[in-house]
Amino acid sequence: MDQNRSTTYQRIGVVGGGAWGTALALAALRAGRETTLWAREPAVVEAIRGTRENRDYLPGVTLPEALRATGDLAEAADCDALLLVTPAQHLRFACGNLAPYLPPETPVVICAKGIELDTHALMSEAAASALPSGTPVAILSGPTFAAEVARGLPTAVTLAARDASVGGALVEALGSRTFRPYLSDDVVGAQVGGAVKNVLAIACGVVEGRKLGDNARAALITRGLAEISRLALALGGRPETLMGLSGLGDLTLTCSSLQSRNMSLGVALGHGRTLAEIQAGRRSVAEGVYTASAVVGLARRLGVDMPLCGAVDAILNRGAGLDETIDGLLARPFREEGY
């Protein structure tokens, strides 16, 4: 890599004051960058400024004085590179609000994982439709829990960009000893892996909540990876991407720990709670709830078979019962293993 790239993006803006946005702002600070964090809620901005803590979304983590907090989008957009860490279903709207303040040469790194519900668009497609024409867009995805990144624990991610020069400069700008981006040019594969794994994590949570065993969870992860791969390939992604951090890595983490919002939601469903009851007690977003329907719609349009995602969508959005849905999956015809 060009040794001068690390000086290209010195000022990093982060749009999204939740746990993940705050954790990424800390990662950028550790990489030696000047960092500004934008939050929608004035109370979050004031708490960060006054107590050096994001008590609502990332309690117990001290935020350095060097981290600037703002509620002004223009201030956040006055940067060399911008990380977008809004909920997936709000990304297009956020990009539209940012567009008047963002120079077209400023790269935007999408850190949200999902597929747009109304349009079935990937996040890069939704962003590109609202950002200034020609804005470089990259994807950051991989096996990450915000609390661990915030604490500086070792983490590896995929940073996907079609422009290798932009991607390489972003890796240099954000990478540190404990936050290690691996460069890819497969923007499609990185997005599909990050989006669909949230849906499958809900399914794994149901397996846990219904006490169906570790064998069932391992089978679900494996066959779920096949579904991710089929969809990614249909959209032009590459199979090797799905074997990497933004595919298998992210899927394994999210389907194996109750730190995952999506898996913990699935566990609660498995215990018999309704979706409305679960969501009423949460501030954070479980993206898989919205992505399930979008994935199924996109798969149907492309003619891709995704029975596990279809089952999750049926449970969440179509009133299907847990036991009857599980029975339906177990009654599927035997077939050869493969993608």
Cα dist. 181→104, 144, 212 in Å?
24, 12, 36
CB 280 within 8 A of CB 268: no
Cα 36 to chain center, whole Å? Answer: 20
If one counts every other C-beta atom within 10 angstroms of the C-beta of residue 272, the result is 10
CB 117 within 8 A of CB 226: no
Of the candidates 209, 215, 226, 195, the residue with the CA atom closest to the CA atom of residue 307: 226
Core vs surface per residue 55-86: b (16+ CB within 10 A) or e: ebbbeebebeeebbbbeebeebbbbbbbbbbb
Q: Which of 120, 197, 210, 217 is catalytic?
A: 197
- Measured distance CA(74)–CA(107) in Å, rounded: 15
Position 161: which residue type? Answer: A
Angle subtended by helix axes 322-330 and 307-317, to nearest 10:
170
Q: Note if 211 is an active site residue.
A: no
- Measured distance CA(230)–CA(239) in Å, rounded: 9
Q: Exposed, middle or buried, 276 (CB in 10 Å: 0-12/13-18/19+)? A: exposed
Count of residues in the chain = 339
Q: Cite the active site residues.
A: 197
